[in-house]
Structure 1
Amino acid sequence: MAERYFLMTAKKSIPIKDKLTPSKLIKILPFDNTKHSTKAHKHNGYLELVYLFSTTGTHEIDGKSGEIQNPFLLVIRKNAVHKWTLRTPVEGFVILLKNEFIANSLDLEIGKLIEKITKIDHLELQNITTLKTILEILATEENPIVIEGLFKSLLAKTVESNSPTESKLRVNLSLYDSFMDLLINEHKIINSVAHYANLLNTSPQNLNASCKKYTDLSSSEIIANHLIKEAKRLIYYTQKSMSEIAHELGFSDKSNFSKYFKKHTGHTPKAFKQTIN
């Protein structure tokens, strides 16, 4: 797909849209056919996945524009400035996703799949019948357990449908991308921004700035989210004692682990385990 780069006309500020209520972490809905054209804007802290199964037009994301080729997925990252112009009626779906949805999920694969998808700006899709079926069910489903399972299936089918070519990948992966790769793929999470900055040959300040740019979270908050998620998995899926879990996650003792867990979740590991039982 031919692409061009340009400078957006300077304005006082870029409009920010927020289509999710504070308590809503994921929203799936059919594409609104009244939204054929949008002005350049960005979103208030959520990822947007736009599945387009039949339309023609152009899209622009962070200064990069191109033609929409059906069937098509647009990946609009948090804080990305974007707009589109669609020339024909649209058949498609829109997914709005907050960080908290991924952070709250105990399924590690969802985070990995999201990371793969968000390394691209767009993707030409296959497996259309399957994708449509999953999206149609998701658009009306209310059960959070079913939503999480179907969403994982959708992500897996999306990744499977077409492995992105080198030209579709962002040429220079950001520090944030590389940081997330380390967190997801390393065997053990280290609770130290300096540790990851050193591995990435940068400073903690630069790493923090990159994380803030893409997620509105600091690098230490992102590490904390991953640590807490791993802690929840160990509590939920294993019979290990709190002392064993604390040691495995790098805490000096279970008391420090308990304080850390409560600081980030609002309750102790013991209380969390009781909610499971």
Structure 2
Amino acid sequence: MHKEIPHIVFNSQKPNNSGIEILSIESLAIRKDDAVDHHPEKAHQVAFNMIVLYTAGESKQLVDFVWHTVKKNTIIHLSKGQINAFQFTKNLKGYILLFTEDYLKKQINALPKNELIRLFNAHLFSPIIQVPKDSNVVRYFELLFEEYNSQKEDYNQESTYKSLHSIIFYKLERLKQYQTFHLKQSKQLNIFLDFKSLLEKHFTKSRNADFYAEKLNITYKHLNTICKSIISITAKQFIDEFIVLEAKRQLVNSEIKSTELAYALGFEEPTNFVKYFRKNTGFTPNQFKKELN
């Protein structure tokens, strides 16, 4: 059995935590070499949702194999299952807000639906928000950090966390909507999200767009029209991008063999997987691992 990709679970140091934590970027940078199971500057998969706010300095952050430039007032958001890595540079400051899937589910009724779509559908949007100078969202991160790290125990502390978490989401919704004004709640969007959910469930079974169109009770042509409208690519291209990303996430682990990965992804022959991967990336799986390392 191969060694798993570094998979970082939520592990708060605060007793009786309900599933939320906030820490400073500086504190993580200081203890980066102390982690037993991973190094935060090396690619790892997160098992929680994460919002990172940079308040000073300049650097880069890896999100699903793409390095994004970050600076003062940059926000990066990742959803559960994505690949992350930090690059700690001198004078880099900010906050890292972590929360579990269960915590998010409990908060859903208090959160704007559009924001959940914008933040936690990685295939739809860029993970970056650049905060304008006149926004006060930074102050709410500061307040949550102060509350969370307060030595004074308060009987309604959890309620305070939830309230500040909700406010931050509303603030991010206001900022993100200007980047995604074209996205509106619609029948097309709902069908696309259903398609994405089916793909997440059945991608090892089928890479054929007809398969998913049939399950959605629509034609292949209709599914293609929806994909082109929402994400500007065909259904087949979306399927290929999804599967290649899944393959890359597994290949972060340098010990997994292409043969093993091919079968895990539903390919009948390892050679077919190698050809498929090379066609979509320009690399063989082994070449990609070497480039990554």
| Residue in 2 that maps onto 1:70 | 72
Distance in 2 (alpha carbons) for counterparts of 1:151 and 1:181: 30
Which of 19, 25, 28 is the equivalent residue of 2:19?
25
Runs of 4+ in 1 over 6 A off after TM superposition: 180-183
Shift of residue 154, structure 1, vs aligned partner: 1.0
Amino acid at match of 2:66: K
What residue is the counterpart of 2:62 in the other structure?
A: 60
Q: Which amino acid aligns with 2:216?
A: A
Structure 1 pair 51/128, CA: closer, same or farther in 2 (3 Å)? farther
Superposed, 1:234-245 pairs within 5 Å as: none
Q: 1:32 to 1:128 in 2, by over 3 A?
A: farther
Kept after mapping to 2: 8 A contact 1:33/1:90: no
Structure 1 pair 60–105 and aligned structure 2 pair: CA distance change class (3 A): closer
**What's the CA shift string for 1:83-108, capped at 9, x where partnerless?**
12132223211111212123223625
Stretches of structure 1 lacking an aligned partner (at least 5 in a row):
1-10, 170-174, 184-193, 214-277
The Cα shift of 1:110 comes to 4.3
Q: For 1:32, what is the secondary structure of its paired residue?
A: helix
Q: How many residue pairs are counted as aligned between the two chains? A: 179
- TM-score in terms of structure 1 length: 0.52
Q: Is this contact kept in 2: 1:125–1:162, CA < 8 A?
A: no
SS in 1 for 2:96: strand
AA aligned to 1:63 is F
Aligned equivalent of 1:239:
none
Could you say what secondary structure the match of 1:83 adopts? strand
Match for 1:20: what amino acid? N
Q: Report the counterpart of residue 125 of structure 1 in structure 2.
A: 131
Q: Deviations over 1:44-68 (max 9, x none)?
A: 2x11111111121122211212321
The correspondence of residues 1-277 of structure 1 with structure 2, limited to 5 A, is: 13-20=4-11, 24-35=18-29, 38-44=41-47, 46-105=48-107, 107-118=109-120, 119-126=125-132, 130-139=136-145, 140-141=147-148, 143-161=157-175, 163=177, 165=179, 178-179=192-193, 197-198=216-217, 201=223
Please give the root-mean-square deviation of Cα atoms over the aligned residues, in Å: 4.0
> Per the alignment, do residues 152 and 70 of structure 1 end up closer, same or farther by CA in structure 2, a change over 3 Å counting?
same
- Measured after TM superposition, the shift of residue 33 of structure 1 is 3.9
**1:73 aligned counterpart, secondary structure:** strand
Q: Which moved more, 1:73-82 or 1:133-142?
A: 133-142
Shift of 1:109: 2.9
- For residue 73 of structure 1, report the CA deviation from its aligned partner: 0.8
CA distance in 2, matches of 1:181, 1:134: 36
Find the aligned partners of 1:176 and 1:54 in 2 and give their Cα distance.
38
Name the SS of the counterpart of 1:78 in structure 2: coil
One-letter amino acid of the counterpart of residue 137, structure 2: L
Partners in 2 of 1:106 and 1:65 — Cα distance?
30
Cα contact 1:53–1:71 (8 A) shared by 2: yes
Q: What residue ranges of structure 2 are gaps of 5+ in the alignment?
A: 33-39, 149-155, 184-188, 198-212, 224-234, 247-293
Q: For the residues of structure 2 that align with 1:151 and 1:127, how far apart are their CA atoms?
A: 21
Contact conserved, 1:41 with 1:81, CA < 8 A, in 2?
yes
User: TM-score if structure 2 supplies the norm length?
Assistant: 0.49
- Residue 120 of structure 1, CA deviation: 3.0
User: Helix, strand or coil: the match of 1:198?
Assistant: coil
Contact 1:48 1:77 in 2 (8 A): yes
- Distance in 2 between residues matched to 1:146 and 1:43, nearest whole Å: 25
Q: Separation in 2 of the partners of 1:52 and 1:147?
A: 20
Cα shift readout 1:118-176 (whole Å, capped 9, x = no counterpart): 3431111125762222112212256222222221211121232354547xx9xxxxx99
